[in-house]
Structure 1
Amino acid sequence: MFRKDISQFLIDKKNSVVYIASSNKNIDIYFDNIKDEEKNIVKLSDLQDEEEYYKVNYELLEKINLTEKIIILTSLEGLLMHYSLDEETLNLKLGTTLSRKNLIEILERNGYKKNYLVQKRLEFSIRGDIIDIFPLNGENPIRVEFFGDEIDRITHFLISDQKSFEKISSINIYMNRDNSQKLDFLQLLNKLEENRKLDIFLENSEVIQYKLEETILRERARENEFRKLYDEIEKKSQKIEVLKSEGDNQKVKVSNKKDGVKYENLSQIREGDYIIHANYGVGIYLGIQDINGKDHLAIRYADEDKLFVPIEGLNKIERFVVSSGKTPELYNLGRKGFKKRREKLEEDMLKFAKEIVEIQARRALNTGYRFSGDTVWQEEFEEKFPYIETRDQKNAIEDVKRDMESSRVMDRIVCGDVGYGKTEVAIRATFKSVMDGKQVLIVAPTTVLAQQHYERFVERYKDYPITLELLSRLNSDKEQKEIVKKIDSGSIDVIIGTHRVLSGDLKFKNLGLVIVDEEQKFGVKDKEKLKKMKTNVDMLTLTATPIPRTLNYALLGIRDISVIETAPEGRVPVETIFINDNKKEIREAIMKEIAREGQVFYIFNRVKRIEDKLNELKKVLPKFISIDYIHGKMSPKNIKEKLRSFQDGDIDILLSTTIIENGIDIENANTILIEGLDKLGLSQVYQLRGRVGRGKRKGYCYLILDKDKKLGKKASERNESLKEIGEFGGGFKLSLEDMRIRGAGEILGDKQHGALETFGYNLYTKLLQEEVSRIKGDYIEDFETKISLNEEAYLPKTYIEGDERLIIYRRLVDIKSLDELKNIQIELKDRFGDIPKEVLNLLKYLEIKILAKELKIKEIQKIGEEILYKFDNSFVNFEKLMKIIELKEARYSQKDSGLYSNKNILEFLYWYKGEEEKNEKI
């Protein structure tokens, strides 16, 4: 029987089924094909991870007592595990009584650990009346809110943004008890046969027998137990032979409810960080301090002077990102050193801002081809995409289409982590270009990546009359000449290649779009050739970790950027683990992956010693494990053949230099070990880590530390950043962090070196953008309203703790609209519970500030029982103002430009806003 027929075979069976598969891959295929037809299906595979094991055990518990048909898919691994059938569950239900104290005791007793923000299974957090729990069962953590001792609300929430997304009325939480009875698989079968007819199938018994021997090699102590158990189960089973066949791996279109980015913030200011205040210069952040019932940021300057900045002044403070990596000098508060320095540098920045505006103006005048709107074919083609687009991916696609349909020449960067859907953005842009009869050039830095793109494009375009060719060093001279000739005649629509396509012999009949993948990998000469193409052809650049110069261009508006930060549905985070450079730890990391039928990348970036490293690994590992190596000095043909063998599963471990950094996409390779960290940049390590965890299985990245080598400051910072960076969507953030560690880089030579050194990257960019806006005439001076209400308005430590307070403060200060304010109020209630009076006062203060800014009110001050409103003379016509405001209780004084009223502040502001809008309409 063919593998593709097994799924239907299992669906057609009337009895319940236990199916023992010869590989986890087969189980995944059967499960994906059966799950929509049979709801009572459990797969016992890939159980090396303890969390996954308990989750599966819970699913088994739910199904075991059903009288309906159930299907259990298991591998040998699942066969050798023990299962609990008498575990207790804790039922949480709306309206029931359960004290928070008792719930916490139950959780702790059953192995749950307390953390401020829940990030993984077996964690819980307490924030006021809210307890967040990530149980072993279920896909997402839950949020339980109490009213006294009554459960008032239960929701699922996302790890990515910590926000609730689904209300539920009850849930059973699986308790991880150590004293529960454990059954082996034979006992489990006997239990299943008590109340149902059961068919047991054993797939490819010879393969499973071989896997058993491999397992016994690793666990000699349990050899007798394993052999006896397997022999008994084999007697009860019907043998079935299964052959591989095409059509097994059809992709299923799935929903995308897990949109979001890991809830971390690399630019977050932490205690002890160097910061820069726009008015006072560089200091050291000491944390938040309460002064007269109001939170202030404490900053230490030279001579132990301290500056206390009220929270509303947060927008004047940035983390100090130094371009040279050296320790910055603290400024003196009582002197004018920073002020003088800033005034001098602002003259240079003004000149530079004018240059930027000129570049932008020239770019705006540079008109190109205006592509047509989407055709019926385009819509049909996009419908065939086998996945649901993520939110960010949709936005990037729309950005590119909008650029192409405009008369301005496109120069857009699409930045997104490996596997986040950048290629699909390029595929759609290419299709749009071809629909208008325009040719497309796609350039990749390596033959491997070019080949991968070619295969993907061919697969997506197979139903359409689009001609594609691949051009690289692998083509013979004759083939290259033939392809060049076809490009010139216009008979090739899409040409994909490496540096070879930038040779002077390529002449296009009607080139409309150039797509560059990982531009930073190209040399200076190639970049110059690409730059010349930008003058009249739309340019799209794809990158996972943009270099500082590219980031600078994007952040300053010289180039456009779309960032894809949303993880695709089903993507499991890659876990980063630091290990020591010793045989035991390296062997253990590799064997864990081999045991789950996976493959391993081992990064060793020294060509001369790579064969020695191969022999070292062979001595450490069992003989049945296949190892081979590749490096950049090998012929492209040889590299391609070895990669193909690795992809086909003939090689278990691929020892490689950093040549695999781009373009290698092997779903079964989910462990990578990286040696020689001190020689690699942060972005490079991140790119390499992206080679694993590209499918549904969890990926592991082991960073090997040389215990005999002392780490320098930059290396230590890089390692800390790798620990802090989120598992999802971190490439763009990591590029910013790489800039901090390795240097910010320059845009136009050394012209702004002094400004970067003085202001740091963040403040420098902010000030430069302000200058650009002023020159262009679209800068709006920040209008500040002074508000004195004598009310306590802050975030209490008892409500929000630690670094999270500053994150929330920063978000509150950055709020620009009433809608944003409303959304964050909903989020605060959801995540931290009932909002205390001080926080409500803070939200009211922000609401008043937003309205007052809009109405150009300079000051609002509470005097006794009355409120004084002072209006800005430069914006407000008081004669007109008094015609609008006809309040008996309001008094107006020309002397202080003030209006006195005893009305509620918000009531008055909303009323005045409405009257002003009415008056404008008249």
Structure 2
Amino acid sequence: VVSRENTGWELDSFFRWYEKCVLNKYPKKTGPLSAEAAAITLLSVSINRDGLVVIISPNEKTASALYSVCYGLCPDFSFFLPEQGSPRGGVPGFVSESQRYIEESLSALSTKSRFGLIFTTNKALCGLSAPPVRTNDEEINVYIKKKKKMVDVLSFLDRWGYHQTDRVVNPLYYAVRGGIIDVFLFHSRNPVRIEYFGDMVESIRLFNPYSQRTIKKLKQIAFLPRLLEKQTTSESLFSFVSSDSSINIYSVERCGGGDYQILFNKEDGDVSCLKSENISKGVVNNALSENTKTTCVVFSDKPGDFTLPSYFPEKHTVQQVFGSIENGFCLSVPGLIVFGSKDLSGSHFNINSRWMVDGGHSGVASEIIDISDLGWGEPLVHEDFGIGIYRGLEKTGGNECVKLKYADGGAVYVPVYSFNKLHRLVGVSPGSVKLSSLRLKSWSRKKGVIKKHAKRIAKELLKNHALRLGSRGFLYEKEGDFYRAVCESFPFQETGGQLSAMQDVMSDMGKRPPMDRLICGDVGFGKTEIAIRASIRAVESGRLVFVMAPTTVLANQHYISFTKRFFPLGVHVELLSRFRTKTEQKKIIASVSRGNVDVLIGTHRLISDDVHT
């Protein structure tokens, strides 16, 4: 009989059970634990209690790693307090992610109704000043269908360091157009739009600053005071946290192998009580054979939407927890097996980054950003009627409409609910725009011809895509010890974009079709790190990696970067370019043919006829 529970646990119920049935047996110290096991342990001892818990890590990378897992599970309960770098406000108009993290954490510390987990380091606590404790009177709460004077909101924004602009794109800016306020709050990942009718708030919604599309409608929004430099106290944040009895402090240490150890009390001894293991067939089978009452849970957001590993016994009951973690773990002593996204067949783990704008940047160039952006006489394209000239707004049939004038003197009035049919005309110089006619059917004929061309191109693309989907003939192995060692040696904290790109690349490498992916990013944004991690996974799978660069100088830079990271692991990296003499090139090519090179970096010289693998 196959038993699979259709119902599941909410996160708070699971955390209560975890604390009662797992942690109560090991009250003093835990570890070594994986990042997911450590995060769940910290959330379980904290989430059902009042007050703040400060988690002090040995370095910022450790604090960030634990914060990322906790934020993915409980975003409203998790905060990150990084070490302060350059002075805040050093670059006009720019607000760094670090500054936003600091202000958000200090805001949580400064309120009387404190709650949540703050991940930080001793250096961060000693380098910042303590915030003054605030009262709720300093906040402004705006509710839908209730009165709140616009002047009060604008006065609040000016008082707390927000800057007025024409269009809101970055944090700490606001814009006003008639009865509409757009503001990008420092503690929000998306700007908010408040629409007024007199003093009455008609609507509140989060929106994408690039496409202007609504992300989520809200019933209320809270405007929190910022913590400016002049308002900090002379007391250090470390002293403030240590002396406040309502704040619990736990320490996290790193163990051998990159795992974590949690110390709930300073007097804890050196004996590790609770230990986690990574999920594997052997670990799971051993845990189930040693303890027949082992509890098995699956972290998945959607009810029943998961496929267990093929080696898992069908007769064993599995319960679902509505949440998402990347890697599962096993606690063999208390008898708990937790499956994460990477342990489930066909499951995809979504990276949750705190400040990544929802909705993406797609369609920015061709969409109408805002009516106020349109200029009189600007050419616009209507999907049904063609190219016309913008002639302002007019009220028709009780609706405010965009008026478009056409070649034969006709006009089209486009109501608000049909604005999605309007597009900017791109790729045509202003002097060569030819307006469409409403009498003739030239626009319809053009659309018909273009559709035929589009179908032909689509068929060719589908044919090429089908060829690309052919199997590469092998599968890359899962990320192993070398991959984890390379990740650990990265001296910086990965950005949200990096994590998302690496997740996509690793997913592609786990499939049979060849990878066909382009990674775009500005100079210094971390593209090379993605290539390094993809390369080491290929090397672990017994494959030879070619890294081709457009210039000799860039190839040499990559050679230095790859060698620095791979040499401690015994991975052989070579450079094939004009920086090598002909004799050296011959030796390298011979070494490649014998299978003695793991990663070969160079220019187009890599695809010369004399290079064989």
TM-score (structure 2 length as normaliser): 0.48
Comparing both structures, which one devotes a greater share of its residues to helix? 1
Tell which structure's C-alpha radius of gyration is larger.
Answer: 1
TM-score (structure 1 length as normaliser): 0.34
